[in-house]
Structure 1
Amino acid sequence: MTKFALLLAAAILPVAAIAATPQEIADDVSEQQLRGTVEKLVSFGTRHTLSSQTDPKRGIGAALRWAEDEFDRYSKACGGCLTIVTPSDTVTGRRVPNPTKITDVVAVQRGTVEPNRVIIIQGHIDSRVTDVMDSTADAPGANDDGSGTAAVIEAARVLSKHKFPATIVYAALMGEEQGLLGGKVLADYAKAQGWQVEAVLNNDIIGNSCGSDGYCDDSHVRVLSEGVRGDWTKELIAAQRSRGGFNDSPSRNISRFVEGLADDLGLGLDVRQIWRTDRFGRGGDHIAFQEIGFPAVRFTVAVEDYEHQHQDLRTEKGIKYGDTIDEMDFPYLAKVTKLNVAALAALARAPMPPASEVEGAVKPDTTVSWQPAPGAAAYIIRWRPTNAASWENSLRVPGTATSHVLKGIRVDDWVFGVSSVSEDGYESPVASAVPGGAFEPWAPPAATQ
């Protein structure tokens, strides 16, 4: 075929027929766009949750309206592919002394095949200074969490140009600094909508690479995940004590999935899995999702800079404090955003992880069985030693199968799981074959007669 014929064929071929890979999609992430978004967020002076919701130029209200306008702009560019909603709740509490409306700005890109299966990327748009109740001082919030909000808005710009079988949700959350309020608003909204939330990627402080002690690391990002499910019950803990599962929550397997994806992308960015729900003694907006049974992880920088987060703008003894834009590393932020975008694309293209279980007590063989996953052309059985961090062994079986016997593999010595594979080769995260391993809210098995 001549070069002209190739160009003509490309011109008449429907765009939907040429599906860009997650890496190709991620390559569209723009460092310049990320910088511009953070600069705009900083320009609102403060985005404190208790700041003005009506001032047209300063405060949280102006910032929320701007984020909504950005989502609307990208929706118009893709022919209305984004539905913008603003779930809210009026809250009072220890850090919210007067009734205050907490509003999230959310853009929903509905899936073409499984619109009720949802993958969420989120960051909190509010900011703070040293005194968490100070709603008037300048609080630039460049990194915390202008960086995460910029990643969300950039993901919407990039991914809205493409179509996916599952739904992707982009969320700018309000009220994190006042008690993880926006995360709860969105989690409650997702539950009320009946969404099947497969994964939540919470991005909070993802834009710097050097710490307050001068130590720098721009080649890693931390992904934090819970071990025991946030919606645990006494029955679940009892079942896990008997059959395992303390290191195999769906959130933990999202973390493993993202680590493997980072290795494949060649971004110069590796994932350090941190096996805690959040940093030591701290929290984030992903926790509200975990508590109602939705898998969720937190992305955050490899090394935090405590002099430039939660600080008044000042200089003391030659040390500059405050969350200002000049302390950020935008090439690093671009890498973390690319990893998020690729993960969203890969998750939305792959089928749902299949709920699975194993049987094999006092036998030399292990039987792994699973529920069919819509759109699965194949399944991959994976297993690892009980003390191993990552999956080490695998076996691919046809999409028509719902069980397989692993001969000579004794159930006592291994942890098992199953992933699903789409017809075009996208593999889901692994759903571990343990109590509570399914990517759905935990419910104890029905009692047998």
Structure 2
Amino acid sequence: MRLPVTIALCLLFISSRGQNPAKTFPEAEDNWKQGKYIEALTGFKQVLNGRDGEAWLDRIALTTGELYQVNELSADGKLARFSPDGSYAIFEKIENGRDISVYYSIAGRKTGIIEGKNLLIGNGQLVFLRTIPTDSLTAAAKRRDEQLKTIGNDPTRRAQVNNAYNKLAAAQTFLFSYDLKKKKTVQLLPKGYLVSELVAGPGLNNLYLLALKEGNAYPAVYKLALEDRKVTELVTGKNFPGGLQVSPAGDKLLFEYLPRFAYAASDVKPERAEGTVLVDLADQSIKQFPGRIAAVNAAFTRFMYLVKDDAQNILAVTNTDNFKLEVVYTTDKLIADPVFSPDGSKAALAVKLLDDYEIFTVDLATKQATRITSEIQHDRLPVFIGNDRLMAAKGEPRHRRSYLYDLKTGESIKLFHNNTVRTLVPEYDWEPDVSGRYVLVTAERDGNTISPERGVYLADLGQKVTKTEVLARIEADIKAETDLRTRGEASYAKIAELVRSVTSQASVHRVYDYENSLFKFGSKHITQPGNNKAAEYLFDQYKSFGYEPQYQWFTPRASTAKTANVFAVLKGTVNPEIVYVVSSHYDSVVIGPGADDDASGTAALLEAARILADHPMPCTIIFASFTAEEAGLQGSREFVRQAQANHMQIAGALNNDMIGWANDSRLDNTIRYSNPGIRDIQHAAAFLFTNMVTYDVVYYKSTDAQSYYDAYGDIVGGIGSYPVLGSPYYHQWNDFLETINHQLVIEVAKTTAATLMLLASSPSRLKGVAAHKEEDGSYKVSWQASPEKDVTGYIVRYTDAKGKKEQVAVKGLSVTLNAAAAKSLVEVKAVNQREMQGWDWARVEL
């Protein structure tokens, strides 16, 4: 019997009110850790809607995303910071080749913009540097862009090209002020000053500049009074100042003498006078002392130094009146990142214990050290948020996440998230304001590490998310996760039993044997004997599986010895000319054996090749073990070069790199992709056929996946630990076998095999999709024929003028849509004889 809706809702309400949150929440939390997200989210929803739901709000908010309110200031920004008084958030971006500064009023919640960089705000004035374009500078910018396209990702050459342009641009960059009330712009300095640093005293009354004056060989430090524009030279000499800082009271100026200066001629060298300089701005007296300071307190009366004495690393403090060092912390471990608390009573620092850094605080009066973090990943970059809270970054430098630590209770919480289940958010910069309430975060909230845009976000530590907001977050995540699972199950429906049969053959014991054998070769860098030994081992393994493997020998750059990619081919039964490649690199860095980077990926590759050896798919699969990844992706570049020369039709590629390290009980990894179709297939492969929990991020740069992308475009997927994890053994001598979770490696092998089976059984993504508007207002959409021989038709999906999603089946290579909405997307897939749809939509905007 079907109950009336009103009765069913009442029963649901009574049921939810009768929930025992003390039981429901732990069950939901356990489901969350196992990757059973729909069940977990449903449980969290029941707890929030049940009796005393508010009492569980913080824990559920932190599990599913953010606890504090976060406001996106821009989807594209950099150099985020606060004005000295904390009233404005400031950041920069580039629009149409011009530097743009954005200032956001915290109290007024209003945004202003001005052309320029290095923006300072105070007393109703904006001060900034603005580059005035000229024809010659525009031409130089064009030459720079053309050069950057041709030199690829070589960091040295890119820096040379950028620096050459920056020197030209500096000559056309001038200092201006803008009166917010009068709306008037004034140039503050005459021509002839190349300003490289700019800071301000309180109220923006005085500016302090590091500038190279025309005709001088060395830069100097200048004071500029904003009211009368009087310029006073404070410090000069045959040295290169840098890192200007002004005390909050405006009575002291601090900087260091550095070994070089960006605008100095290449043949000009400094005197040997590196050290720290303190200027008393009242009488312009100067105190200079050796060494580079590690931190300064808010009053500019105490400095911290990192000093090495024999085998000991020392944190020392000195007062500016006598510069006598006082040792406050000593260890034989590496130490880094020291900072003062706002009241100057404590220091925080990072100490490397065994393999990873941990955060400590030191009471400067008693010299008592307290450990704050205890985590396998690196904990770095502590910053005090008030005197009793710390913010620190967790993880490997490219993909850190921010956490808040309560120094009184010892509790920690994550600061930032994107409030979704699967997509990860790499964070890069954090800046707290003087009050400790607000934090600026620079991050890629969309999980896209490839696009140049990085978002700027304002976290309000004084305002938590509401129950309504968390419930809305949960509803959105349930919908997204349900959709992902529904699509994944549908994609695998025709071959699920076969996939399950194949993946069940995977053996963790075999995976361990592969890893152990590779580990015994030691370093497998192209300069080490272990490289050729590993290549021979891989050749023999592929042969033992029944393949006819091949070496692909070449001589890498900066080497006289040859090295080889090793690959095996599983020829397709229906469309052998269409190829899917799965790869991992077997070489390592010089100093280590590379158990995780990337013997783990190589072991997963071998096991996927073994279990698929007797199960050829309709399309061809190539298993490729690349060399020379650690020498600049040279092995994958060579493989792709030869593939293109031989007109190989690579339709999709997976690359697994660093997949074996785990820091907790979870078996989790990251899908690193360019193609969203492959991403969703890999999620489905993981949750349908393995025990691994997968997240995702757009990521392929500086990995072998980039070689595929550069040659074949958007066809990339694969698995890696970053950024969900940050192994402390990355590129270290102790990247040893005992740090590897072998069960995690086998789950990656199964996910990889399952992904390949679907890709190689499905039509590839179509090409040449185009749309043309007819005279009657309809749209004709056409596409190239699918290259697969067994395609029987196509599916076209579009949005009609009423906003409704429609789908039609088509036999030919075009369709006329009479009711499609303008500016909407039309998506097309092929369908084959087994009724399997293409693994990704081809898209065109009307």
The CA deviation string for residues 382-438 of structure 1, in whole angstroms up to 9 with x for no partner, is: 4589xxxxxx9573515x2322344433140x3332222222233322242249xxx
Give matches, 1:133-148, under 5 Å: 134=590, 137=591, 139-148=592-601
Contact 1:358/1:416 (8 A) holds in 2: no
Query: Higher strand proportion, which one?
Result: 2
Separation of aligned partners in 1, 2:613 and 2:497? 13
Separation of aligned partners in 2, 1:62 and 1:340? 26
Kindly indicate whether structure 1 or structure 2 has the higher relative contact order, using CA contacts under 8 Å at least 6 residues apart: 1
Separation of aligned partners in 2, 1:339 and 1:368? 35
Matched, 1:48 2:519: no
Matched, 1:72 2:72: no
Task: Report the Cα offset of residue 92 of structure 1.
Answer: 2.0
Separation of aligned partners in 2, 1:182 and 1:37? 21
Contact 1:203/1:299 (8 A) holds in 2: yes
Give matches, 1:363-378, under 5 Å: 365-373=778-786, 374-378=789-793
Matched, 1:259 2:683: yes
Contact 1:216/1:303 (8 A) holds in 2: no
The equivalent of 1:297 in structure 2 is 717
Q: Which amino acid aligns with 1:101?
A: K
Query: Alignment partner for residue 39 of structure 1, among 516, 522, 525?
Result: 516
The equivalent of 1:429 in structure 2 is 839
Give matches, 1:371-410, under 5 Å: 371-373=784-786, 374-382=789-797, 395=807, 397-398=809-810, 400-410=811-821
Give matches, 1:260-409, under 5 Å: 260-263=684-687, 265-278=688-701, 283-294=702-713, 295-301=715-721, 303-312=724-733, 322-359=734-771, 361=773, 365-373=778-786, 374-382=789-797, 395=807, 397-398=809-810, 400-409=811-820
Structure label with greater radius of gyration: 2
Task: Report the Cα offset of residue 268 of structure 1.
Answer: 3.8
Identity %: 24
TM-score, normalized by length of structure 1?
A: 0.70
Matched, 1:167 2:620: yes
Per the alignment, in what secondary structure is the counterpart of residue 308 of structure 1? Answer: coil
RMSD (CA atoms): 2.7
Give matches, 1:224-243, under 5 Å: 224-226=672-674
Separation of aligned partners in 2, 1:269 and 1:396? 36
Q: Which amino acid aligns with 1:296?
A: V
Where structure 1 has 5 or more consecutive residues not aligned to the other structure, the ranges are 1-17, 53-58, 76-81, 129-133, 227-250, 313-321, 386-391, 436-449
Per the alignment, in what secondary structure is the counterpart of residue 71 of structure 1? Answer: helix
Contact 2:619/2:760 (8 A) holds in 1: yes
Per the alignment, in what secondary structure is the counterpart of residue 760 of structure 2? Answer: helix
TM-score, normalized by length of structure 2?
A: 0.38
Per the alignment, in what secondary structure is the counterpart of residue 310 of structure 1? Answer: coil
Contact 1:356/1:431 (8 A) holds in 2: no
Extract structure 1 runs of 4+ deviating beyond 3 A.
Answer: 259-263, 268-271, 360-368, 382-385
Separation of aligned partners in 2, 1:257 and 1:268? 15
Per the alignment, in what secondary structure is the counterpart of residue 255 of structure 1? Answer: helix
| Aligned CA distance change for structure 1 residues 411 and 222 (closer, same or farther; 3 Å) | farther
Matched, 1:222 2:667: no
Contact 2:660/2:741 (8 A) holds in 1: yes
Contact 1:360/1:410 (8 A) holds in 2: no
Give matches, 1:75-224, under 5 Å: 75=546, 82-93=547-558, 98-128=559-589, 134=590, 137=591, 139-210=592-663, 217-219=666-668, 221-224=669-672
Contact 1:356/1:418 (8 A) holds in 2: no
Task: Report the Cα offset of residue 366 of structure 1.
Answer: 4.3
The equivalent of 1:247 in structure 2 is none
Separation of aligned partners in 1, 2:520 and 2:553? 24
| Aligned CA distance change for structure 1 residues 405 and 258 (closer, same or farther; 3 Å) | farther
Matched, 1:30 2:507: yes
Count of paired positions: 343
More deviation in 299-308 or 333-342? 299-308
Separation of aligned partners in 1, 2:649 and 2:605? 20
Contact 2:763/2:839 (8 A) holds in 1: no
The equivalent of 1:238 in structure 2 is none
Q: Which amino acid aligns with 2:698?
A: W
Separation of aligned partners in 2, 1:366 and 1:223? 36
| Aligned CA distance change for structure 1 residues 153 and 266 (closer, same or farther; 3 Å) | closer
Separation of aligned partners in 1, 2:609 and 2:679? 22
Per the alignment, in what secondary structure is the counterpart of residue 696 of structure 2? Answer: strand
Matched, 1:60 2:472: no
Task: Report the Cα offset of residue 33 of structure 1.
Answer: 1.4
The CA deviation string for residues 235-264 of structure 1, in whole angstroms up to 9 with x for no partner, is: xxxxxxxxxxxxxxxx3433344334445x
Q: Which amino acid aligns with 1:218?
A: L
Q: Which amino acid aligns with 2:525?
A: H
The CA deviation string for residues 211-258 of structure 1, in whole angstroms up to 9 with x for no partner, is: xxxx67524x322234xxxxxxxxxxxxxxxxxxxxxxxx34333443
Contact 2:532/2:563 (8 A) holds in 1: no
Task: Report the Cα offset of residue 284 of structure 1.
Answer: 0.5
Q: Which amino acid aligns with 1:92?
A: R
Contact 1:87/1:189 (8 A) holds in 2: no
Separation of aligned partners in 2, 1:384 and 1:203? 37
Contact 1:415/1:432 (8 A) holds in 2: no
Task: Report the Cα offset of residue 270 of structure 1.
Answer: 4.4
Task: Report the Cα offset of residue 195 of structure 1.
Answer: 0.9
| Aligned CA distance change for structure 1 residues 152 and 383 (closer, same or farther; 3 Å) | farther
